[in-house]
């Protein structure tokens, strides 16, 4: 049973993607099955999903995080009964990463890139207003956002943020949000523009931070430029140069077989990754630092049929 937490119990703090995870938000799967492949295609999922199995997968993911000492909050149990009647029928509600992002000590809300997901954003943001004070959760920051889903954002370190302008995140929204990110304490925003395809829906389907100094990315990203935005200027760099300048050794890989399972992992602490049992582990064996990582494997196969993975289904609030 997930415990109730008051505002004072949660202290947002995320300055990177790899620190020890202390508090994370999740949401249990919908009560609705996606019964066949045609329905899955119509709702932009990869495959049909049986929610009974999906809930078993989700419970396993929660147990793995709690066993690692992480405090897990299922936001759906904090909704009113009226809100829950709708929320439990939203099939994408498990993908909480997109809803908001903690930049330093500031929580910034996102904006749904498709109308199907707007109710989740509306409900969760109202809840976050209860959890956090107005200085911490800046609800007004999304007033001018057209589409910004935080599967497209990574907090690299105390200096830099990496964001994709793609299918679900508009360049206009990044422009509207940048001042809030700078006020949160960051110096640079690296903006990349991935090709518009289903397997590039979000940035974290194509790359991920795998530790303090290691970044894994699909090989084609090395050919793409990044617009480096500061408060007063912008310039362009290649992706590898941008990441290396911020202290990351980049492991470019062409061994991604399953976009979600292979790339969409979660850092539990600097030495430990939570990964899918379907992940191609050879990706982690080709790098001296990655070979030393502790890999905790969990079965999220049914959940991944929805088109998202472990990172998509977790919203870190506190890292130390």
| Tens-place pLDDT, residues 291-319 | 999 999 999 999 999 999 999 999 999 99
Its pTM stands at 0.95
User: 301 burial class (0-12, 13-18, 19+ CB within 10 angstroms)?
Assistant: middle
Contact 61, 313 (CB under 8 A): yes
Sheet containing 214-218: give its strands across. 207-211, 214-218, 249-253
Among residues 216, 219, 220, 230, which one has the least CA distance to residue 289?
216
User: 242 burial class (0-12, 13-18, 19+ CB within 10 angstroms)?
Assistant: buried
> pLDDT by residue (tens digit) across 124-175?
999 999 999 999 999 999 999 999 999 999 999 999 999 999 999 999 999 9
Q: Is a pLDDT exceeding 70 seen at residue 7?
A: no
Angle at 243 between CA 194 and CA 232, to 5 degrees: 85
Question: How far, in Å, CA of 44 to CA of 59, rounded?
Answer: 24
- Quickly name the fold that domain 7-319 has: 3.75.10
CB atoms within 10 A of CB 169: 30
Contacts of 216 (CB under 8 A, 6+ apart): 207, 208, 210, 250, 251, 253, 263, 283, 290
Contact 320, 22 (CB under 8 A): yes
Contact 217, 205 (CB under 8 A): no
Query: Which pLDDT score, from 0 to 100, does residue 64 have?
Result: 98
**Antiparallel, parallel or unpaired: β 160-164 and 188-192:** parallel
């Amino acid at each position: 049973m997930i415990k109730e937490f008051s505002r004072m119990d949660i202290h947002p703090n995320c300055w990177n993607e790899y620190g020890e995870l202390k508090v994370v938000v999740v949401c249990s799967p919908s009560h609705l099955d996606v019964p066949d492949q045609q329905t899955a295609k119509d709702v932009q999922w990869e495959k049909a999903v049986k929610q009974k199995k999906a809930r078993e997968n989700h419970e396993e993911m929660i147990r793995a995080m709690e066993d690692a000492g992480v405090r897990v909050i299922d936001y759906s149990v904090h909704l009113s009964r009226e809100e829950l009647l709708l929320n439990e029928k939203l099939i994408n509600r498990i993908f909480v990463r997109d809803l908001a992002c903690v930049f330093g000590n500031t929580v910034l809300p996102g904006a749904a890139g498709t109308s199907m997901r707007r109710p989740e954003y509306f409900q969760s943001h109202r809840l976050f207003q209860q959890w956090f004070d107005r200085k911490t959760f800046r609800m007004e920051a999304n007033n001018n956002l057209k589409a910004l889903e935080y599967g497209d954002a990574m907090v690299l370190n105390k200096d830099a943020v990496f964001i994709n302008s793609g299918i679900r995140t508009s360049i206009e929204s990044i422009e509207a949000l940048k001042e809030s990110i700078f006020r949160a304490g960051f110096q640079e925003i690296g903006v990349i523009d991935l090709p518009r395809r289903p397997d590039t829906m979000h940035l974290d389907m194509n790359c991920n931070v795998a530790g303090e100094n290691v970044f894994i990315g699909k090989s084609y990203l090395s050919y793409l430029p990044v617009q480096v935005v500061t408060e007063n200027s912008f310039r362009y760099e290649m992706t590898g140069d941008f990441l290396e300048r911020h202290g990351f050794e980049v492991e470019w890989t062409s061994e991604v077989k399953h976009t979600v399972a292979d790339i969409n992992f979660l850092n539990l602490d600097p030495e430990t990754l939570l990964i899918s049992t379907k992940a191609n582990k050879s990706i982690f064996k080709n790098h001296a630092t990655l070979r030393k990582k502790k890999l905790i494997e969990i079965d999220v196969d049914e959940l991944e049929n929805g088109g998202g993975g472990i990172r998509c289904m977790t919203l870190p609030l506190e890292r130390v």
